[in-house]
Amino acid sequence: MSLIDNLKDRLKVSDVEGLKKKAKAIKDIVSNKPGKNEAEEKKEEVPAGFIKCPDCGNIIEKKDLGKLRICPKCARLFRLNAKDRIKTIADEGSFEEFDVNMEAKDPLNFPGYPEKVKQTQTKSGSKDAVRTGVCTIGGYRTVLAVMDSTFMMGSMGSVVGEKITRAFEYACDKSLPIVVFTCSGGARMQEGIVSLMQMAKVSSAVARHSDKGLLYVTVLTDPTTGGVTASYAMLGDIILSEPKALIGFAGRRVIEGTIKQKLPDDFQTAEFSLSHGFCDAIVEREKLRGVLKRILKLHGYKKEAE
Ligand SMILES: [Zn+2]
């Protein structure tokens, strides 16, 4: 019997039909994910202008979260975008942004990437996942870089790498300290190797800034993972974190699958990082500005004006 006949014999028409039916059933289940529908239904329950706190379950009027975006019932920290974060840290009106219009190229001709970037830009009002600039914090002149989880989950591509590198170079030239708020799902896979190269580029800029004896403070916010953790997030002279922030490299499931062990429940939290020496202090959001100001003062930087 020839190979073809053999195959024909084994794949009887009835089997093929059966397989087609199974494939269709699976497709239907996937396209009607119950999880997705439940989430949508829950979302619909909350009236406009309100938000349901995932921790305490209370329905809260959005304006009651305040500019720090903290749940008034249980103190859960909601994520802050870069623009709002800068307002909570820099002295009013002092922030001068760098490279405002720098935007991503598509080095790999990745399908759908330019469209996704455009879409996110329109939705978020930002050109990419980080804002950098110079400001004063309580009168101390400081370079500030703030990553934005609302832009493609704060993924680090060539724009994030280039902007943060330039921020460090500016700080180096002007002998200024730098504060970086990290928040990232990791490298931007649509830029492949170009995105991974940013880790080395930013790290070299951090080293040059450090060689000049200048101060670098990192503030880890939820979530700080992947290539950002593996490079500049963990290179700060002082590493602060917001409470309960997710801090890790690979995801929990990947690690558990690799080491074939169950990880502790608090694994990859700010608190876990603190108790294992990867972070120096956990600072409440409302105290961050004051703590940064004190750190700058302690390191002998001169106050300009409040
Ligand atoms: Zn709450």
pLDDT for position 196: 96
In whole angstroms, what is the distance from residue 256 CA to residue 246 CA?
17
Q: Which long-range contacts (CB under 8 A, 24 or more apart) does 99-103 make?
A: 99/132, 99/162, 99/163, 99/166, 100/127, 101/127, 102/127, 102/128, 102/159, 102/162, 102/163, 103/127, 103/128, 103/159
pTM, full prediction:
0.84
Q: Note the pLDDT tens digit of each residue in 16-37.
A: 566 666 667 656 655 554 444 4
3-state secondary structure (DSSP) of residue 231: coil
Q: How far, in Å, from the CA of 145 to the mean position of ligand 1?
A: 28
C-beta of residue 226 within 8 angstroms of C-beta of residue 249: yes
Cα 130 to the chain's mean position, in Å? Answer: 9
Q: How far, in Å, from the CA of 263 to the mean position of ligand 1?
A: 26
pLDDT for position 45: 77
Q: How far, in Å, from the CA of 282 to the mean position of ligand 1?
A: 20
In whole angstroms, what is the distance from residue 72 CA to residue 89 CA?
20
> What sign does the dihedral 198-199-205-206 (CA atoms) show?
positive
Q: How far, in Å, from the CA of 73 to the mean position of ligand 1?
A: 5
Domain 79-298 sits in which CATH superfamily?
Answer: 2-enoyl-CoA Hydratase; Chain A, domain 1 (3.90.226.10)
SS3 content of the chain, % helix, strand, coil (to 5): 45, 20, 35
pLDDT for position 304: 84
pLDDT for position 58: 93
Q: How far, in Å, from the CA of 124 to the mean position of ligand 1?
A: 25
Q: How far, in Å, from the CA of 59 to the mean position of ligand 1?
A: 8
Q: How far, in Å, from the CA of 49 to the mean position of ligand 1?
A: 16
Q: Note the pLDDT tens digit of each residue in 258-290.
A: 999 999 888 999 999 999 999 999 999 999 999
3-state secondary structure (DSSP) of residue 108: coil
Q: How far, in Å, from the CA of 218 to the mean position of ligand 1?
A: 27
C-beta of residue 183 within 8 angstroms of C-beta of residue 227: no
Q: How many CA atoms lie within 13 A of 7 on its CB side?
A: 3
Q: How far, in Å, from the CA of 137 to the mean position of ligand 1?
A: 29
User: Does the bond joining 264 to the residue before it have cis omega, within 30 degrees of 0?
Assistant: no
Strand partners for 52: 59
Q: How far, in Å, from the CA of 249 to the mean position of ligand 1?
A: 27
> What sign does the dihedral 90-92-94-97 (CA atoms) show?
positive
Residue carrying structure tokens 């801090």 = 247
Q: How far, in Å, from the CA of 285 to the mean position of ligand 1?
A: 15
Burial of 33 (C-beta count, 10 Å sphere; 0-12/13-18/19+): exposed
Cα 304 to the chain's mean position, in Å? Answer: 32
pLDDT under 70: residue ranges of the chain = 1-23, 25-44, 305-306
Mind giving me the DSSP string for 56-102?
T--EEEGGGGTTTTB-TTT-PBPP--HHHHHHHHSPTT--EEESTT-
Instruction: Take residue 270 and report the two structure tokens written for it.
Output: 């700010």
pLDDT for position 25: 62
Q: How many CA atoms lie within 13 A of 108 on its CB side?
A: 14
